[in-house]
Structure formats: structure tokens, C-alpha cells
């Protein structure tokens, strides 16, 4: 790595790349090989970390290299007890996941370092600490960060453990009363190398977009993930109706993400894709109120009552619905329930499944050569039957694109009536199941044949059907792709050259 002289500023190209690599590869490591780390190497890294910035140049970090196996054993049981106490804060699937996570690597890590902040440090003459006494602890965290990066550069990994009772650690290590534990660090040779955090890989908490933490006004500064204040009972709660989109988590809006990250309770439908639930603030109450088609499920009035009652308890309640909450989502009833109860409600729109499906098919729903109207209809009334009051002349309009939500049960009847009203049976009709999800399936057909094709395939998961000449481009593309596949298969047959 080459550096420019002071005043010339900035690292040269290779230096910049090395720094970036170091930061990206750093990782909190919990899986260590048991091989020893030479003491000279540990000393070199600690001396490098000792150059870290500190408030008033106070260097308040105090590092205890814990070598006694008796003391290590006491520290490990401290961690085990703290870990099981912390598990009580979680419930259901989140508790199961917490219990499966590897949250430290005490057994294998050859080096144990307890880092304390000396709150009584005289060095630095109090500069910067009168207004912010916690700046001493921040300085210690800076030292650990430098150590983390230095360790990485040496091929070592470091894991920071905070699931531990600091008072007990101070007692075991018999440190002066003014020292406060900042972290218990495990250092050693990593068993694995990863570019993404262990907690992300194991489904606990992914990293989130930078934009949710950055603001130029300060007014709309984001709540960092997992740090939203817990609402006090008796204070004013609220409801946020959030659109989760059709399934792909990356189709969530930034506003939806912020709402999930500051939720105290989330009431979610069964159509909400599971990876989206991973964005919810850890510790929030998760209530599955899924209305499962024709099976027994939570009734709408119960959901309204639950939502209102949680908000009255002072919680930030997120009502999470698939797609857009205002499209076939019974939002009207939930908005009315909140209004009637005097609970403030905010709505965060989402990408509706029709948009997700159209994007997957790469078709314009309003192609100007073919479509004058775009209409979303439901094939499912309150009792699960085909609604009687559909405007059939609109459905039969050859210049319309119609998207049919909830078509599974009544599609045969719907297409039959549409044909009777004059819709051409050769009009393109495309069914998309699980749009934007990894298990998405597309059925390209015509109005005359789609119902029987869909019935034969009987795909799992939500399905919508799109009808109209505007979709012809998708059918032409599909036919061309099929023809190319046949030609390629023929070319590949033995004897063909």
C-alpha cells in the first residue's frame, strides 16, 4: 500500500482498494480454528489498535488478556446464563432462531481479551467529556474497530461478545471499580471467510439500505434498525397500513422498511412473503392474522379489534398486507375501525401483484396499440363466489387489459360469461402464480383455454390472471422462445451438424 505525503491527501488506488477490501471482509467471527496465535502477533495488533482516536487523547481503553482457564470457565458460564436470560425477550419463531444462532466462539478462540473503559481516566484532562462523558466508551469502541481491521489484515478474526454480565466479568477479573466493560473479544484464526454478516446468513437481521440512515435535513432521519424506542403503555400508539408488495423483498419501499424497523407489533397476512418478515425490528410482537382463503382463520372484526387495542396500548402497530393495501385488501374496514377508535393511521402503498406480474412478463399493460383501459377485478365475493355485479361489457371490451385477482375458484365461470358477452376466445390470457417470488410460474394461454390449463396445473400459492391484446407481445415472445428451444434441441441431436 502506498501513501501520498501529508497535504497531497488520499491513498493511492491500490491503497484504496486494500482499505475497502479490509472493511468489506472484516466480519464478526464466531467460528475459530483452535490453532494458537503467536503472542508477538497479538502484541503487534494491540499496539496498532492503541493508535486509535480517543476523546482528549485520553486512551481510556484497558485491555485484560484473559489466559487463566479457571477464569475463562467462569466467563463462559456467565455468557451461557446471560444468553438464556436474553432468550426470554423473544417468542415463537424468533425465539427458535435466537436459540439456534451461534453468538460467541469461546471454546475454540485461542485469545480472550476483556476491554474496559476507564471512567476515572485522568489522561486527556477531561477534554470533550464534560458534555459527553460517554465519549470515553466511544473511544474504546474506536480502539476495538482498529483492532478488528488489523486482525483481519493479519488473517485473524475477531468476535465481540456483549451477551455477558459486565459486573460479573469485572468481579472475575478483579478490575478497579472505575472500569466499565466495553466488550469481551475473542480472537483467533477464522474457520470460514464471508462477505456477509453471520446474522444475515442465518436469517436474523440483514443489513439495510444506507438511505434509511442518512438524512440531509435531520427532520426525517431514519430510526436505525432495531433501535426504535419501545412505546410506553398509556402513550399514543398508531397504526401503519403497509404494503409488502408481491413477494420479492427488494420491491418494498424505503418507507415500508422504516415502518417495519420501528414497529412494536406487526399483524401480517399469510400472503406476505416470509423474507419480508426478516426486516421487522427484533423484539416486535409478530401476529399471524392470515386470512387463509377457505380455511378457518382470523375474522376481519377480530383483526380490527386487535389492531386498535395494541395501538391503544401505546404501540406502533404495523398492519402488513401483501401487494398494495388499498387494492383488494380490505383496507377500508381497517381504516374505518382506526378512525372510529380515534387511532391515528398512516398508509404506505406497496407494489400490487399485477405490477409485479407485468414486470416479470416484461409487458406493458397499457400498450398504446391495444389498450385503452386497464381494469383490476376480483373473481371472489364475500362468500367466495363470482361477484354478480361485474360489468361484463367492460370485461369483454377488446381494447381493455383486465387483471383478475383471486381467480382460482371461479375462473371457468368468469371466462365463460366473458365469452358470452362477446370477448374473443383467442384473446391472450396469462396466469402468473407467485409473481416475483423464487417459485414464480407463468401459464401463457387464451381466454378460451386458460381455466382448464390452470385447473390441470393447479399451482400452489397466489395466482392472478391477466387478459387482453396488450399481452400478445408476451405470447409472441413465448412462441419464439419455444421455437428457438426446439431448433436448439434438434441441432443438438446426434447426426446433426
Ligand X SMILES: C[S@@+](CC[C@H](N)C(=O)[O-])C[C@H]1O[C@@H](n2cnc3c(N)ncnc32)[C@H](O)[C@@H]1O
Positions marked catalytic: 269, 291, 406
Packing angle between helix 69-87 and helix 92-100, nearest 10 degrees?
Answer: 170
Least distance from C-beta 244 to ligand X, angstroms?
Answer: 9
- Window contacting ligand FMN (CB under 6 A); options: 17-25, 157-165, 340-348, 480-488: 157-165
Q: Say whether residue 158 binds ligand FMN (CB under 6 A).
A: no
> Which residue lies nearer to ligand FMN by CB, 186 or 357?
186
- Considering only residues 14 to 73 of the shown chain, the ones binding ligand FMN according to CB under 6 A are 27-28, 30
Q: Residue 199's binding partner, choosing from ligand X, ligand FMN, none, with beta-carbon cut-off 5 to 8 A by kind?
A: ligand FMN
- Considering only residues 324 to 343 of the shown chain, the ones binding ligand X according to CB under 6 A are 324, 327-329
Contact 267, 317 (CB under 8 A): yes
Least distance from C-beta 133 to ligand X, angstroms?
Answer: 50
Rounded to whole angstroms, the Cα distance separating 257 from 348 reads 10
Contact 320, 268 (CB under 8 A): yes
Q: Say whether residue 161 binds ligand FMN (CB under 6 A).
A: yes
- Considering only residues 435 to 494 of the shown chain, the ones binding ligand X according to CB under 6 A are 435-437, 462-464
> Which residue lies nearer to ligand FMN by CB, 26 or 441?
26
Least distance from C-beta 194 to ligand FMN, angstroms?
Answer: 8
Rounded to whole angstroms, the Cα distance separating 284 from 288 reads 13
- Cell numbers placing 251: 420491491
> Which residue lies nearer to ligand FMN by CB, 86 or 482?
86
- Cell numbers placing 90: 423473544
- Cell numbers placing 178: 472505575
Contact 61, 139 (CB under 8 A): yes
- Cell numbers placing 382: 364475500
- Cell numbers placing 201: 446468513
- Considering only residues 179 to 208 of the shown chain, the ones binding ligand FMN according to CB under 6 A are 183, 197, 199
Q: Residue 162's binding partner, choosing from ligand X, ligand FMN, none, with beta-carbon cut-off 5 to 8 A by kind?
A: ligand FMN
Rounded to whole angstroms, the Cα distance separating 390 from 377 reads 8
Q: Say whether residue 247 binds ligand X (CB under 6 A).
A: yes
> Which residue lies nearer to ligand X by CB, 31 or 441?
441
Instruction: Give the residue carrying C-alpha cell 410460474.
Output: 441
Check residue 69 and report its DSSP letter. Answer: H
Q: Say whether residue 60 binds ligand X (CB under 6 A).
A: no
Phi, psi for 374 (deg, rounded to 5): -120, 125
Q: Which of 57, 162, 215, 452 binds ligand FMN (CB under 6 A)?
A: 162
Amino acid at each position: 500500500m502506498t501513501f501520498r505525503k501529508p497535504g497531497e491527501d488520499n491513498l493511492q488506488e491500490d491503497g484504496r482498494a486494500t482499505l475497502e477490501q479490509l472493511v468489506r471482509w472484516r466480519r464478526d467471527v464466531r467460528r475459530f480454528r483452535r490453532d494458537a496465535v503467536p503472542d508477538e502477533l497479538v502484541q503487534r495488533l494491540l499496539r496498532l489498535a492503541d493508535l486509535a482516536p480517543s476523546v482528549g487523547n485520553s486512551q481510556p481503553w484497558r485491555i485484560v488478556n484473559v489466559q487463566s482457564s479457571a477464569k475463562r470457565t467462569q466467563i463462559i458460564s456467565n455468557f451461557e446464563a446471560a444468553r438464556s436470560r436474553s432468550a426470554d425477550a423473544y417468542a415463537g419463531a424468533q425465539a427458535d432462531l435466537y436459540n439456534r444462532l451461534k453468538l460467541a466462539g469461546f471454546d475454540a478462540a485461542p485469545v480472550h481479551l476483556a476491554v474496559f473503559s476507564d471512567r476515572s481516566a485522568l489522561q486527556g484532562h477531561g477534554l470533550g467529556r464534560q458534555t459527553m462523558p460517554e465519549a470515553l466508551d466511544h473511544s474504546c469502541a474506536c480502539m476495538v474497530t482498529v483492532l478488528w481491521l488489523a486482525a483481519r489484515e493479519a488473517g485473524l478474526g475477531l468476535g465481540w461478545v456483549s451477551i455477558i454480565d459486565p459486573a460479573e466479568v469485572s468481579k472475575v477479573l478483579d478490575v478497579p471499580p472505575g472500569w466499565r466493560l466495553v466488550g469481551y473479544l475473542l480472537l483467533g484464526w477464522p474457520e470460514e471467510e464471508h462477505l456477509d454478516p453471520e446474522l444475515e446468513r442465518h436469517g436474523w437481521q440483514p443489513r439495510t439500505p444506507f438511505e434509511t440512515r442518512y438524512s440531509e435535513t435531520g427532520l426525517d432521519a431514519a430510526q436505525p434498525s432495531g433501535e426504535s424506542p419501545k412505546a410506553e403503555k398509556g402513550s399514543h400508539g398508531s397504526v401503519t397500513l403497509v404494503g409488502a408488495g408481491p413477494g420479492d423483498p427488494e420491491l418494498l419501499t424505503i418507507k415500508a422498511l422504516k415502518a417495519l424497523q420501528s414497529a412494536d407489533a406487526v399483524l401480517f397476512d399469510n400472503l406476505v412473503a416470509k423474507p419480508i418478515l426478516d426486516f421487522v425490528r427484533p423484539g416486535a410482537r409478530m401476529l399471524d392474522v392470515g386470512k387463509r382463503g377457505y380455511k378457518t382463520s382470523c375474522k376481519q372484526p377480530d383483526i380490527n379489534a386487535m389492531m386498535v387495542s395494541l395501538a391503544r396500548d401505546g404501540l406502533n402497530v404495523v398492519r402488513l398486507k401483501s401487494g398494495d393495501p388499498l387494492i383488494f385488501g380490505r383496507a377500508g374496514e381497517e381504516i374505518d375501525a382506526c378512525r372510529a377508535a380515534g387511532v391515528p393511521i398512516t398508509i404506505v402503498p406497496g407494489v400490487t401483484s399485477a405490477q409485479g406480474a407485468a414486470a416479470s412478463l416484461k409487458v406493458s399493460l397499457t400498450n398504446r396499440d391495444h389498450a385503452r383501459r386497464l381494469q383490476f377485478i376480483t373473481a371472489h365475493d364475500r362468500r367466495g363466489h363470482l361477484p354478480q355485479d361485474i360489468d361484463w361489457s367492460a370485461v369483454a371490451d377488446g381494447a381493455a387489459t383486465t387483471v383478475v385477482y383471486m381467480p382460482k375458484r371461479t375462473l371457468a365461470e368468469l371466462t365463460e360469461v366473458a365469452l358470452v358477452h362477446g370477448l374473443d376466445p383467442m384473446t391472450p390470457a396469462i396466469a402468473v402464480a407467485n409473481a416475483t417470488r423464487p417459485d414464480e410460474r407463468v401459464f401463457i394461454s387464451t381466454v378460451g383455454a386458460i381455466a382448464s390449463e390452470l385447473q390441470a396445473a393447479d399451482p400452489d400459492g397466489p395466482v392472478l390472471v391477466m387478459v387482453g391484446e396488450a399481452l400478445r407481445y408476451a405470447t409472441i415472445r413465448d412462441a419464439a422462445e419455444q421455437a428457438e428451444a426446439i431448433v436448439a434441441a434438434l441441432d443438438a441431436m446426434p447426426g446433426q451438424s
